[in-house]
Structure 1
Amino acid sequence: MLTAKRGLLNSRFTNNFLSAFKKIHNNKLAKTMDEQPEYVQASLKKIATEQGFTEGRYRIALEPGCNKGDGIMGKLCRALIREEGREQMVVLVKGLPDSELRRQQTMRLYHREVMVYDKLLPALDKFQAEKGTGSGKDDGFFRAPKCYYATCNLEKLEAVVIMEDLRESNFRMLNKFEPVDFPHCRLVMEQLGKLHAVSFAMKDQQPELFAQFRTFNDPMKMLLDMDPKRTIDKVFIETHERASGILTEEDVEAKEAMERLKGNVTDQYVACVNAEDAEPYAVIGHGDCWVNNTMFKYDGKDPTPTDIRLIDWQLCRYVCPILDLSYFLFISTDEKIRAKHFEQLQDTYYNSLSEQLARLGGDVKRQYPRDVYQAQWQKYGRFGMLMGFIVVPMMCTASEDLPDQDEYMRRLETEEHVKYDFGTEANAFERYRKRMAGIIRDVVRLGYL
């Protein structure tokens, strides 16, 4: 178990976006049903029965569920449940990696996601329904994929999450290379406001029920506490140094601020994820909210999104609400968009939270006053930059150019200095240079660093 814990977030944070289909090339299909673990086969059969398919008459076909580099930790495949005379059902099967080491490294992440689908989201839905906000309305937070089945057995190293394939409902993911525009950002901020509002309301009105979710500690902090090799320190040191190196002589204030941060990135991260320090204003946050973990729906050819789903809840955590906002706005947008819309998007979030909290019987002036919100931006606004040191190089790298994850992890465990070889191809580095330099300049300009 200690090995599992120590490997947990090395894998997740140092290469968060490597593909589940690293060993599946081009048009090769995923493994057949017979090659799946027995518990995965049983899970799919259970769903088929629950959805009314006839035993002995239906068949289940599997195919890849994403492209290389799409960012799923483990294996993702589509299961097509077919029976003559009725419409097929398509679900996504999110399972563990093949190797035992990788399974150990990701088990706690699957455990957190199973808790989200089995406990957290149903509790949020029930609480909102009791307050008169139903899932058929647009005045609540109901923006996660439908989950048909989720299970995690830490002792047996077994875990699977089976959910709807959002592409069947015409949701799609944006290009990670392109900065997210204002209409898409606005929708993200609105939904984060609603998500956080439910936390504020439930924590205030049903504290005993909500108490179980206050234990959703930050996973990387858990790793830091029990990893004597301090591998996350190695990652932060290397990525901070790389980010500092792309600043020009004109970036005087930014260079000075980055020099002050040298050797202190891990401590800054730990300070940001300290939920106790954020009380009484900590909430349940998504935890990994960036462009690749959002999917959007549109009305015809209109480029303005009409709906959204937040996917990949493996890093869901109880922290200051600013962390979700800073993570998304700094990593998923660029300098131009922030220069024009940053304050407007901050307002969008706060207004959405205020309105939703009022619907749920709360009072934003009492539970999250505007001056506290602004003060927390000053205290926690740097978080997006801290995570950007690690995430942005991968975000700017084409899927086919992403380095081997297992080799990188092995070197982190055995070597003192490991070069962070993401985004080294010319186009990738230029994308990285522009995006990362812009993040640093904005964080300094806004007084967050």
Structure 2
Amino acid sequence: MAAPVEEHSGAQLRGNLRAVVEGVARRERFTDIEVEVGRASSKGDNYIGELLRVRLKGRRDGEEGQGMSLVVKLIPDSEAKREALDMDSFFDNELFVYSEVMPAFQSLQEDRRVPEAERFGAVPKLLACDRSEGGVSLVLEDMSPRGYRMADRLKGLDSAHCSLVMKELGRFHAFSFALRDQRPEELQRLRSGVTETLFGPRAHFSSEQGKASLKQNIDQASSTMLKRFPLESEYMERFRRFCSDFNKRGEAVASGEAAEPCAVICHGDCWTNNILFKYSEGDETPEALCLLDLQLSRYSSPVTDIAYFLYCCTEGTVRREAYKSLLSDYYNSFSQFLRKLGSDPEKMFPYSAFKEHLSKFSQFGLAMALVAMPLFTAASEDTLGVEHFGKETADEAFSKVACNERYLRRMGDVIEDMVDWNLI
């Protein structure tokens, strides 16, 4: 029998989730369990949904005092909040990737007999899903007991962290190329199930709320960047031109069709707070990582993941010093792993094609910086939670976070790099 759920700091397991968590406990061979619930994220760490940490304690395989930790990802229970960002589509997209895409990737590396130590495993396991009461909630493996933790989003990641991310993105993208080569019907099935949640006729930025928030971000960026660039400079001219048809450009670079025959299932939201790092004992050298939050997964060019990460999560100094080496880290890791999966990178995605994609799709980094940089650079006390979305109070909050020095420096560096490297 499970003991009553203890609820801490206002955290709750809503509706059927108590039974779902107890079902996970039984499958993990726990008996006589106690369940404790607390918040799993701080303000500014998560923008869509609510994260809870659930600790199981009890007898396991006859041994007393055993424990296990889970993370529960909840869709907001307010209909107004859910409709403001069409949150059901984000959660449905993430569930499809966890329940269909990741098992297909795992099956492929098992069938190709990739050695256990060399397999891709940088995504937490989905342990259960609750679809009751019209919502979606995911129960995931908690990586923190294994030593994984979040980096400081305000600092920007250094080249050592970036190198590790680029290598794992390369391995993640290799699966799609291997499936295209060896199991094309399966790739077609998977790509059809992944939904573009941001760009396109039925995606977020085509909604009235999306258009309003986007206009707000573009207006704020255009105004703030005048502190960095003269009005008539080439930087502002190209930036304004990019913004003038933002939705059209965003849809074009996010499109899988535009990236064929080299489109892949992308993570879609690869930024600092969606990555946990494990560090070497005694220092801050990252040795492993875990990718979180698959809600924005899309089928598009692999460069959309690379550009989003590099332009939204690093300082301009890091890009200028390490850009070429980071791209080499990505491509070498991709190539090596694709060979392990049984396909030839020179046939499926030669380096020349990679360079073409970098030239064509890197502007996605600027598109996402316009959308997300105010959030990524805001101090915790200034960040927005889901309670602000769809409210007029968000206007004032966005204006505040977009005027800080971090935003001015990092957004300005993105525009400068895009122009200097002739990407826009």
- TM-score scaled by structure 2? 0.90
Q: Is 1:81–2:81 an aligned residue pair?
A: no
Structure 1: stretches of 5+ with no match in the other structure: 1-26, 413-417
Q: Which residue of 2 aligns with 1:380?
A: 361
CA-CA distance at 1:301 after TM superposition:
2.1
Over 3 Å counting, the alpha-carbon distance change for 1:128 and 1:394 in structure 2 is: same
Q: Which residue of 2 aligns with 1:354?
A: 335
Q: Which residue of 1 aligns with 2:182?
A: 205
Q: Which residue of 2 aligns with 1:9?
A: none
CA distance in 2, matches of 1:257, 1:214: 33
Q: Which residue of 1 aligns with 2:348?
A: 367
Q: Of 55, 60, 63, which aligns to 2:38?
A: 63
CA distance in 2, matches of 1:404, 1:49: 34
CA-CA distance at 1:232 after TM superposition:
2.7
SS at match of 1:203: helix
SS at match of 2:140: strand
CA distance in 2, matches of 1:369, 1:420: 47
Counterpart contact for 2:8–2:37, Cα < 8 Å = no
Q: Which residue of 2 aligns with 1:13?
A: none
**Code of the aligned partner of 2:311:** F
Over 3 Å counting, the alpha-carbon distance change for 1:367 and 1:398 in structure 2 is: same
Q: Deviations over 1:219-251 (max 9, x none)?
A: 123564698754433333332232233232299
Structure 2: stretches of 5+ with no match in the other structure: 1-6
RMSD of equivalent CA atoms: 2.3
Q: Which residue of 1 aligns with 2:3?
A: none
Q: Which residue of 2 aligns with 1:421?
A: 397
SS at match of 1:121: helix
Over 3 Å counting, the alpha-carbon distance change for 1:346 and 1:425 in structure 2 is: closer
Q: Is 1:312–2:288 an aligned residue pair?
A: no
After alignment, is 354-363 or 256-265 more displaced?
256-265
Q: Is 1:195–2:175 an aligned residue pair?
A: no
What are the within-5 Å matches in structure 2 for residues 239-254 of structure 1?
Answer: 239-245=217-223, 246=225, 247-249=228-230, 252-254=233-235
CA distance in 1, matches of 2:323, 2:360: 17
**Code of the aligned partner of 1:232:** G
CA distance in 1, matches of 2:404, 2:138: 35
Q: Which residue of 1 aligns with 2:240?
A: 259
Over 3 Å counting, the alpha-carbon distance change for 1:69 and 1:404 in structure 2 is: closer
Q: Which residue of 2 aligns with 1:217?
A: 195
SS at match of 1:361: coil
Q: Of 402, 406, 423, which aligns to 1:431?
A: 406
CA distance in 2, matches of 1:97, 1:349: 36
Q: Is 1:29–2:9 an aligned residue pair?
A: yes
SS at match of 1:178: coil
CA distance in 2, matches of 1:87, 1:234: 50
CA-CA distance at 1:298 after TM superposition:
0.9
Q: Which residue of 2 aligns with 1:291?
A: 272
**Code of the aligned partner of 2:220:** R
Q: Of 379, 382, 391, which aligns to 1:401?
A: 382
CA distance in 1, matches of 2:67, 2:147: 16
CA-CA distance at 1:420 after TM superposition:
6.6
Counterpart contact for 1:323–1:381, Cα < 8 Å = yes
**Code of the aligned partner of 2:242:** L
Q: Of 3, 21, 43, which aligns to 1:44?
A: 21
Q: Deviations over 1:58-108 (max 9, x none)?
A: 121111111112115222111111126131111111112121233453112
Q: Of 138, 141, 148, which aligns to 1:164?
A: 141
CA distance in 2, matches of 1:387, 1:169: 31
Over 3 Å counting, the alpha-carbon distance change for 1:234 and 1:224 in structure 2 is: farther
Q: Which residue of 2 aligns with 1:446?
A: 421
CA-CA distance at 1:379 after TM superposition:
0.8
CA distance in 2, matches of 1:321, 1:226: 21
Over 3 Å counting, the alpha-carbon distance change for 1:79 and 1:225 in structure 2 is: closer
What are the within-5 Å matches in structure 2 for residues 261-280 of structure 1?
Answer: 261-280=242-261
CA distance in 2, matches of 1:402, 1:325: 25
Over 3 Å counting, the alpha-carbon distance change for 1:270 and 1:28 in structure 2 is: same
- TM-score scaled by structure 1? 0.85
CA distance in 2, matches of 1:404, 1:121: 29
